[in-house]
């Protein structure tokens, strides 16, 4: 039987502290899906060629298939399972659902996580910026157009929500 | 019967942009795809695949692998004596090869172990000794080789099948035409590359029944294949199609791995999972056939076609798969798009030592559509007729028969052409843009479901059951499978509309052979139409049962009972009502336990000749597209800047999803036009017999990224078709068809060169530009169509010449046709 | 799922510690920085280290120093490099090159050191183990034939790094540290014409930093040819840097081709030709021809070698016209798909 030596790993996944004993040869993708049963993160190639396994590590979108789990010690990991705030869907999730941003849904978790990181850096991205940010996430169903529209819609929603929240405060 | 009035004005769900029912599950990561399933005590399977393209298997020694720690079971071809295959005429596959391997990637043995890594390690401990056979790498080699046929049931050597048909006297039609155009085209093969890699999990219960969860588009066909290959009653096998992470035709065959894990699970009494690597997905393939085509088309000066003679040659790869059907489809739908007075065709599929080709989005149709649409562009150029006008003059009347006896229903093609012409500014652009920029137009038509099942039977193609009870909950059951196209949403929305409730009130259970009535599967754009009609029938029966009970209770005439907003009411006085739940209780009181069913089988085909089973459909969708391109003359790089597309869908059930399907089809079409290509690589024959997949990875198999996708302007043309559910026709495949030729035609408009090949790479465009600069014929494409000895054509007289749909009565043809029928075509027609 | 074979993982916190482990463990150990190249190769059995020495816990490798010239820690991710506006202004070619590596997601993990050391690529080599077995392997790994050049005694895998040509054009040097010694090597001398053994770096050395001298009067650019707007490795690249006097006369120039050989190709002939001239159309044209002679593309990556070679002059043209000050932003956007800059 295979297996490198197992090592204790601490991660913070979706704001939960997780301690898990992992083989050193495991990627973050395998630990998320197999050890932590967070199967929302998908895989399409495991070689960095599709973007389906994108998660956020310390706020940045990265490919979990090419990241050793052990390199994530103490890191903040965000996956699709943590995108909604309990029963409150993230505006991106709603926008994708409303505007046809998904079909089969397999690339969707990776797309959403990448888009989340984009909107945190760039509140109202241009189409060119959206294309660039999501250019590492392949999709075979949608032809991308409704994905781009969904990201734009979500950006507007977030901005409006923030504006109205600011309005309430002032 | 309850009060019924379906129209755009009264629809509450249909036609309204809606969040599809599975969207929230998908955006939260909760949808369970096959590889997301994990069961207690589950083991993992890996397949050892052939490293030789063609060889006899001498011995397979698994002793070292079996002894490897963590290995539970090793299986070989000896464990699987029975062959299977999707078509009854080509039962040529085994779960694991037994005597022979036919391509690099053909599975030879399976290891089932405690984890994937252990199984991988054990694969390297299996010793296989092979006796190599000659490698057949190309269609040319397949046509010539007389030794070592891949399949012993081939018609001759490596020729899988040759077919020839003539609908009227085409020689005469061409002889009488003002012009005859002769063009040869090549469409390279390509593959689906769905984002999800195929995965399957099998679990056995102690009573000897087995369940398979799988990423399949066709659980019913997998069910049949399992029963056959495992020699076990189908009643003891349950196949559950998980939501597919994309299909596009790539998950429509029953696959080796599905049968292997099922068998392994039964032998071990434990769940067994397999998830293919991306490379293995490329090996499974069943993608678009490479097709070489030759068109000879007669045209009069007014632009009317007089007849067409089409020849196609398909690279089938190593196995039959859907190949016979694919072969028919390279010809069958040509007369659906435009009126064709006479038509003859010859088609040939060959075997090569490559992953098997099969059905991909458009199944056999995109290749000849590319050829004809490019040829029409050439015709328009020569005759100085506007390409849009030329096409508008060739559209068949609605509700007519084609020369090959296909019944077409509504035809929205003229409106589609008008729409893309006006929206794109075609008249100001075609032949008027500066050099380097151009526009091109093309059209297409596609069936809304194959009129014949894969295997001959008289049963429904789709069945739907509805269960209702006193809770007010409605559950709808259907064997259809959501591969991402949104069929679950279609199912729920139709039932919801008929019963006047909300989509949240309707649960759907689909793609489960234990629970759901048979639906043949998600292929041939059949689900919306066939499942949809069955769903409406089942829902209307439920509605009638409820209405009769409510009518009795409230003392209202039953034909005055309406359903809306979760109320059942008197349409004359809506205040006389009860809630839907109360109504179901009434119905349960009156009728007892509530369940209804609906069935759908397509109308009988008008074709009565053998082989006429391929092509008929309850109705056809139509599409027109204009592509705008910019060509960089220094490099030959083509940028598609915009696509205008109009699709005749009959009725749009959920506009968000319809638009998504259209754009998705355009996306795949642009990719096929410019880059998608599944090639093979032959090493220098003097040094090696190797023949390997050229690009078995997502990096090498080029698909469009978000940067490469042009803007798409979509128009949906709605003209409800009486055969469609609330008038709906297909949208999943048709919109792809015009894209490749529209781009090729736009390139001609931009720089005056013809690339009669797909994909249109910068290498080819630059070559054509160089030929143009040197004053030569600026065309890149196949020089000739290979010489093939064709059988005598089966002769069928077109309807307008007095034909009755049968093979001809003309004595001089009859004898030959009869001979041919018996020898060659009978099997195909039965199966396809 | 493709998985990594078992290995031992060590994450030292200093360069000296890493160098010491490297010395002690010998060739069975490999360094890993971002891992985006190595881990994919390991999953395919192209590289099979028993020990992986991670550089990610070595803080000093992530530093950027702007004091005199520019010093980049080898562990700097390409994503971080791209966020550095001063690099964009001072070392435009490097910034542009970093911005077209792979995908934005990969750039968030991939490092500058990793991209410099990127394994050479070949369509006969970058495949799964069983695929390579089906061709009886190749000269780069476990075999004795170079399938793309069957008479060649040397592996002809392609140098596919984007940043190396840019760095060479900018005159960069790298620091290599071993347990016993330390040396600084010119980037142009770091590579050798053997796809299987493409780096002059010794296996016991850690590449710790990239050193760039202050650049006065230099302008630089990077043009990459690839099929798609993302993901793809270069199939040709042109990195160009020129130093001009106030009147536009070239004082020094370095033009480098990437992805058309087993190593980045710096043209001394182009430098000699350009010095003392101005970037007028004829000079640019001629430079294109000089560079095209140098290119030796082979059929082991995307599209055909003949076509790729034909593309050299026009890519050199784009690059030099940009350095001359022509407005090529539209063309760059179309070819490089760079959303910024």
Instruction: Give the rounded distance of the alpha carbon of B46 from its chain centre.
Output: 28
CATH code at B164-190+287-451+612-780:
3.30.365.10
Q: Do A42 and B706 touch (CB under 8 A)?
A: no
Chain C residues in contact with B135 (beta carbon < 8 A): none
Q: pLDDT digits over B413-449, tens only? A: 999 999 999 999 999 999 999 999 999 999 999 999 9
ipTM given for this complex: 0.97
Q: For chain B, list the contacting chains (3+ Cβ pairs, <8 Å).
A: A, C
The pLDDT of residue B825 is 38
pLDDT band at B61 (very low <50, low <70, confident <90, very high): very high
User: Would you state the pLDDT for residue B829?
Assistant: 38
Taking the CA of residue B332 as centre, how many other CA atoms within 13 Å lie in the half-sphere pointing to its CB? 30
Average pLDDT value for chain B: 95
C119-123 mean pLDDT: 98
Q: Which residue of C has its CA nearest to B47?
A: C130
Q: Pick the closest to residue B287 from B312, B314, B310, B313 (CA basis).
A: B314
In the prediction, which pLDDT does B6 show?
78
Which class in CATH covers the domain with range A6-82? alpha beta
Q: Which residues from chain C sit within 8 angstroms of residue B279, using beta carbons?
A: 127-128, 130-131
| Cα nearest neighbour of C49 on chain A | A25
The whole-number average pLDDT for the span C8-20 is 97
End-to-end CA distance of chain C: 38
CA distance A69 to chain C (A): 11
Alpha helices in B345-455 (DSSP H): 366-383, 387-392, 413-424, 426-429
A131 Cα to chain C: minimum distance (Å): 8
Candidates B29, B191, B644: best to mutate against A (most CBs of A within 10 A) is B29
Chain B interface mutation, best of A84, A145, A149, A150, highest count of B Cβ atoms under 10 Å: A145
The DSSP letter of residue B723 is T
Q: What is the pLDDT of residue C334?
A: 83
Q: Do B763 and C307 count as a contact with CB atoms less than 8 A apart?
A: yes
List of residues 6+ apart from A77 with CB closer than 8 A: A11, A12, A13, A14, A28, A32, A55, A56, A57
| CATH number of this structure's domain B459-600 | 3.30.365.10
Residue with tokens 């405060």: A169
Return the pLDDT at B406: 98
* Gap between the Cα atoms of B786 and B828, Å rounded: 24
Choose from C8, C104, C107, C302 for mutation: most chain A CBs within 10 A: C104
Q: In chain C, helix, strand, coil percent, each to 5?
A: 35, 20, 45
Burial class (CB in 10 A: 0-12, 13-18, 19+), C276: exposed
Smallest Cβ–Cβ distance between A62 and the set C9, C40, C108 belongs to C108
Average pLDDT over residues C9-23: 97
Span B263-298, pLDDT tens digits: 999 999 999 999 999 999 999 999 999 999 999 999
User: Of C2, C5, C8, which has the smallest distance from its Cβ to A47's Cβ?
Assistant: C2
Model confidence at B5: pLDDT above 80: no
C216 touches chain A (CB under 8 A): no
Residues of chain C with pLDDT > 70: what percent? 99
Instruction: Return the pLDDT at C66.
Output: 83
Distances (CA, A) of B12 to B5, B210, B569: 12, 42, 16
For range B374-380, the mean pLDDT: 98
Is C184's Cβ below 8 Å from some Cβ in B?
no
Give start-end residues of each CATH 3.90.1170.50 domain in chain B. Answer: 42-133+195-246+251-284
Residue B786 DSSP class? P
Average pLDDT over residues B325-344: 97
Taking CA–CA distances from C340, the nearest residue in chain A reads A129
Residue written as tokens 């969904």? Answer: A150
Strand partners, B100: B56
Nearest-CB residue to C134 (from B35, B51, B694): B51
Mean per-residue pLDDT for C222-249? Answer: 97
Determine, for residues C127 and B702 on separate chains, whether the beta-carbon distance falls below 8 Å: no
The CATH 3.30.365.10 domain(s) of chain B lie at 164-190+287-451+612-780, 459-600
- For residue B475, CA distances in Å to B472, B534, B584 come to 10, 15, 13
Could B706 and C229 be called an inter-chain contact, meaning their C-beta atoms sit closer than 8 Å?
A: yes
pLDDT, tens only, C96-116 = 999 999 999 999 999 999 999
pLDDT tens-digit map of B718-755: 999 999 999 999 999 999 999 999 999 999 999 999 99
With CB atoms and an 8 Å threshold, state whether B690 touches C133: no
Indicate yes or no: CB of C1 within 8 angstroms of CB of A26: no
B762 vs C3, C147, C307: nearest CB: C307
Of the candidates B189, B232, B228, the one whose C-alpha atom is nearest the C-alpha of residue B210 is B232
Give the closest of A27, A29, A136 to C105, CB-based: A136
Q: What is the pLDDT of residue C68?
A: 83
Give the per-residue pLDDT at A169. 57
Determine contact, residues B619/B410, Cβ cutoff 8 Å.
Answer: yes
Say yes or no for a CB contact (<8 Å) between A137 and C5. no
| Residue of B657, B661, B706 lying closest to A144 (CB–CB) | B706
- pLDDT over 90, % of chain B: 95
Q: Please tell me the distance in Å from B485's CA to the nearest CA on chain C.
A: 25
Is the Cα torsion angle B331, B759, C132, C44 positive or negative in sign?
Answer: negative
Asked if residue C338 has pLDDT above 90, the reply is: no
Cβ B624 vs Cβ B337: under 8 Å: no
Place B329 in a pLDDT band, splitting at 50, 70 and 90: very high
Smallest Cα distance from A168 to chain C, Å: 35
Q: What pLDDT is stored for residue B812 in this prediction?
A: 52
**Distance separating alpha carbons of residues B708 and C103, to the nearest angstrom:** 14
Residues (pLDDT < 50) of chain A are 2
Q: Is there a contact between B483 and B548 (Cβ–Cβ < 8 Å)?
A: no
Rounded distance, CA A75 to CA A14, Å? 11
List the single residue in B with minimal CA-CA distance to C305.
Answer: B763
Mean pLDDT over B509-533 rounds to: 98
At C339 the pLDDT is: 58
First to last CA, chain A: 64
**Chain A interface, mutation test: which of C8, C51, C103, C227, most A Cβ atoms within 10 Å?**
C103
Chain B CB contacts of C300 below 8 Å: none
Pairing of strands B794-796, B159-167: parallel
Taking a contact as any Cβ pair under 8 Å apart, which residues of chain A between 10 and 69 contact chain B? 33-34, 37-47, 49-50, 52
**pTM of the shown model:** 0.97
Identify the CATH homologous superfamily for domain A91-165: [2Fe-2S]-binding domain (1.10.150.120)
| Residue B207 neighbours by CB distance under 10 Å | 7
CATH of B42-133+195-246+251-284, one of 3.90.1170.50, 1.10.10.60, 3.40.50.300, 3.40.1190.10: 3.90.1170.50
pLDDT tens for each residue of B617-660: 999 999 999 999 999 999 999 999 999 999 999 999 999 999 99
A47:C108 CB<8 A: no
Chain B: closest CA distance from residue A170 (Å): 34
Cβ neighbours of A108 in B, within 8 Å: 26-27
**CA-CA-CA-CA torsion sign (B715, B718, B719, B722):** positive
Query: Pick from C3, C130, C229: which is nearest to B707 by CB?
Result: C229
> Residue C67, exposed/middle/buried by CB under 10 A (0-12, 13-18, 19+)?
exposed
For residue B815, what pLDDT is reported? 43
Which residues are CB-contacts of C17 (< 8 A; sequence separation ≥ 6)? none
CB–CB contact A25 C106 (8 Å): no
pLDDT-derived band at B97 (thresholds 50, 70, 90) equals very high
Mutate which: B634, B760, B770, vs C, most C CBs within 10 A: B634
Query: Mean pLDDT, to the nearest integer, of B606-615?
Result: 95
Determine whether the interchain pair C337/B766 forms a contact, defined as Cβ–Cβ distance below 8 Å.
Answer: no
């Amino acid at each position: 039987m295979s297996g490198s030596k197992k090592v204790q790993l601490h991660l913070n996944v979706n704001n939960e502290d997780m301690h898990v004993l992992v083989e050193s040869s495991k990627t973050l993708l395998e630990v998320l899906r197999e050890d932590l049963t967070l199967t929302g993160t998908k895989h399409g190639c495991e070689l960095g060629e599709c973007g389906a396994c994108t998660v956020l590590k310390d706020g940045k979108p990265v490919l979990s298939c090419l990241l050793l789990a052990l390199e994530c010690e103490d890191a903040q990991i965000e996956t699709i399972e943590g995108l909604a705030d309990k029963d409150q869907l993230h505006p991106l999730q709603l926008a994708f659902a409303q505007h046809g941003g998904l079909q089969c849904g397999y690339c969707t978790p990776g797309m959403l996580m990448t888009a989340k990181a984009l909107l945190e850096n760039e509140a109202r991205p241009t189409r060119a910026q959206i294309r660039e940010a999501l250019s590492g996430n392949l999709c075979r169903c949608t032809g991308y157009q409704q994905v781009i529209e969904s990201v734009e819609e979500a950006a507007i929603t977030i901005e409006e929500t923030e504006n109205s929240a600011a309005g309430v405060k002032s | 019967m309850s009060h019924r009035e379906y129209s755009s004005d009264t629809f509450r769900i249909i036609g309204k942009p809606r969040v599809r029912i599975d969207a929230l599950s998908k955006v939260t990561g909760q949808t369970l795809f096959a590889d997301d399933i994990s069961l207690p005590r589950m083991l993992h399977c890996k397949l050892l695949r052939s490293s030789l393209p063609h060889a006899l298997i001498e011995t397979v020694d698994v002793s070292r692998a079996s002894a490897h720690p963590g290995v539970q079971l090793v299986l070989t071809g000896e464990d699987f004596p029975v062959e299977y295959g999707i078509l009854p005429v080509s039962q040529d596959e085994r779960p694991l090869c037994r005597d022979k391997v036919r391509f690099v990637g053909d599975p030879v043995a399976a290891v089932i172990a405690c984890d994937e890594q252990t199984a991988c390690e054990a694969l390297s401990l299996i010793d296989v000794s092979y006796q190599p056979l000659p490698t057949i790498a190309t269609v040319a080699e397949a046509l010539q080789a007389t030794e070592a046929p891949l399949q012993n049931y081939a018609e001759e050597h490596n020729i899988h099948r040759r077919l020839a048909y003539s609908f009227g006297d085409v020689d005469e039609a061409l002889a009488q035409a003002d012009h005859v155009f002769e063009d040869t085209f090549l469409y390279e093969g390509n593959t689906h590359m769905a984002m999800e890699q195929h995965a399957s999990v099998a679990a056995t219960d102690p009573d000897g029944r087995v369940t398979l969860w799988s990423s399949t588009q066709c659980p019913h066909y997998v069910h049949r294949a399992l029963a056959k290959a495992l020699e076990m009653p189908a009643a003891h096998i349950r196949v559950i199609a998980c939501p597919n992470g994309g299909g596009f035709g790539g998950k429509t065959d029953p696959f080796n791995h599905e049968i292997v894990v099922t068998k392994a699970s039964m032998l071990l009494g434990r769940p067994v999972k397999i998830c293919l690597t991306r490379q293995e997905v490329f090996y499974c393939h069943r993608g678009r056939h490479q097709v070489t085509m030759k068109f000879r088309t007669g045209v009069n000066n007014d632009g009317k076609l007089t007849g067409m003679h089409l020849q196609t040659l398909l690279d089938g790869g190593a196995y039959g798969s859907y190949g016979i059907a694919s072969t028919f489809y390279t010809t069958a739908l040509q007369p659906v798009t435009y009126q064709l007075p006479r038509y003859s065709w010859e088609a040939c599929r060959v075997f090569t030592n490559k992953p098997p080709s099969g059905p991909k989005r458009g199944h056999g149709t995109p290749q000849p559509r590319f050829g004809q649409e490019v040829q029409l562009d050439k015709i328009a150029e020569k005759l100085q007729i506007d390409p849009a006008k030329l096409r508008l003059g060739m559209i068949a009347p609605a509700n007519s028969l084609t020369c090959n006896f296909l019944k077409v229903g509504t035809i929205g093609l003229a409106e589609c052409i008008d729409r893309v012409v006006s929206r794109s500014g075609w008249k100001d652009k075609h032949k008027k843009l500066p050099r380097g920029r151009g526009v091109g137009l093309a059209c297409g038509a596609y069936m809304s479901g194959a009129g014949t099942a894969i295997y001959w039977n008289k049963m429904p193609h789709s069945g739907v059951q509805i269960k209702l009870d006193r809770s007010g909950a409605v559950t709808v059951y259907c064997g259809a499978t959501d591969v991402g196209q949104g069929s679950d949403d279609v199912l729920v929305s139709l039932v919801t509309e008929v019963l006047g409730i909300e989509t949240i009130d309707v649960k759907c259970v689909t793609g489960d052979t234990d629970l759901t009535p048979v639906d043949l599967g998600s292929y041939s754009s059949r689900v919306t139409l066939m499942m949809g009609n069955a769903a409406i029938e089942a829902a209307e029966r439920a509605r009638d049962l409820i209405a009769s009970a409510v009518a009795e209770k409230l003392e209202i005439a039953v034909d005055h009972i309406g359903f809306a907003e979760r109320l059942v009411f008197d349409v004359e006085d809506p205040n006389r009502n009860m809630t839907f739940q109360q109504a179901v209780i009434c119905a349960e009181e009156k009728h007892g336990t509530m369940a209804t069913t609906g069935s759908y089988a397509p109308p009988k085909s008008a074709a009565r000749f053998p082989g006429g089973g391929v092509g008929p459909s309850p109705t056809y969708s139509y599409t027109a597209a204009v592509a705008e391109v910019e060509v960089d003359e220094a490099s030959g790089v083509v940028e598609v800047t915009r696509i205008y597309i109009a699709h005749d869908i009959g009725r749009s059930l959920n506009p968000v999803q319809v638009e998504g399907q259209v754009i998705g089809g355009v996306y795949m079409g642009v990719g096929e036009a410019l880059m998608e290509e599944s090639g093979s690589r032959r090493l220098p024959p003097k040094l090696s017999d190797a023949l390997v997949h050229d690009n078995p990875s997502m990096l090498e198999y080029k698909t469009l990224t978000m940067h490469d996708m042009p803007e798409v302007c979509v128009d949906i043309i709605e003209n409800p078709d009486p055969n469609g559910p609330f008038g709906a026709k297909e949208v999943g495949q048709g919109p792809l068809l015009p894209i490749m030729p529209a781009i090729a035609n736009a390139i001609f408009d931009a720089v005056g060169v013809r690339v009669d090949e797909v994909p249109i790479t910068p290498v080819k465009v630059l070559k054509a530009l160089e030929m143009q600069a040197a004053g030569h014929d600026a065309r890149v494409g196949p020089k000739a169509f290979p010489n093939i000895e064709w059988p005598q054509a089966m002769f069928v007289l077109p309807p307008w010449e007095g034909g009755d749909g049968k093979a001809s009565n003309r004595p001089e043809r009859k004898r030959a046709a009869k001979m041919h029928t018996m020898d060659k075509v009978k099997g195909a027609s039965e199966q396809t | 799922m493709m998985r990594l074979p078992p290995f031992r993982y060590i994450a030292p916190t200093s360069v000296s510690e890493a160098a010491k482990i490297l010395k002690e463990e010998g060739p069975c150990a490999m360094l890993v920085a971002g891992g985006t190249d190595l881990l994919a190769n390991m999953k395919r059995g192209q590289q099979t280290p028993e020990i992986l020495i991670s550089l990610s816990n070595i803080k000093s490798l992530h530093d950027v120093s702007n004091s005199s010239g520019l010093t980049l820690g080898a562990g700097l991710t390409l994503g971080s490099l791209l966020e550095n506006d001063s690099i964009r202004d001072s070392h435009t070619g490097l910034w542009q090159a970093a911005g077209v590596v792979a995908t934005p997601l990969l750039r968030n993990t991939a490092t500058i050191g990793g991209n410099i050391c990127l394994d050479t690529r070949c369509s006969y080599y970058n495949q799964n183990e069983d695929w390579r077995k089906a061709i009886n392997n190749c000269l780069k790994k476990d075999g004795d034939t170079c399938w793309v050049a069957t008479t060649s005694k040397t592996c002809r895998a392609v140098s596919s790094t984007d940043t190396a040509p840019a760095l060479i054009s900018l005159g960069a040097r790298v620091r290599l540290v071993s347990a016993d010694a330390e040396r600084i090597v010119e980037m142009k001398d770091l590579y050798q014409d053997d796809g299987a053994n493409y780096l002059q770096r010794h296996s016991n050395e850690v590449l710790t930093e990239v050193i760039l001298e202050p650049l006065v009067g230099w302008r630089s650019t990077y043009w990459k040819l690839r099929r798609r707007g993302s993901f793809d490795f270069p199939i040709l690249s042109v990195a160009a840097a020129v130093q001009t006097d106030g009147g536009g006369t070239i004082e020094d120039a370095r033009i480098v081709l990437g992805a058309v050989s087993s190593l980045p190709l710096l043209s001394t002939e182009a430098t000699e030709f350009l010095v003392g001239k101005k970037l007028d159309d004829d000079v640019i044209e001629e430079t294109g021809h000089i560079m095209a002679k140098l290119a030796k593309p082979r059929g082991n990556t995307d599209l055909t070698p003949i076509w790729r070679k034909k593309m050299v002059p026009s890519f050199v043209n784009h690059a030099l016209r940009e350095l001359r000050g022509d407005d090529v932003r539209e063309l760059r956007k179309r070819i490089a798909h760079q959303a910024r800059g």
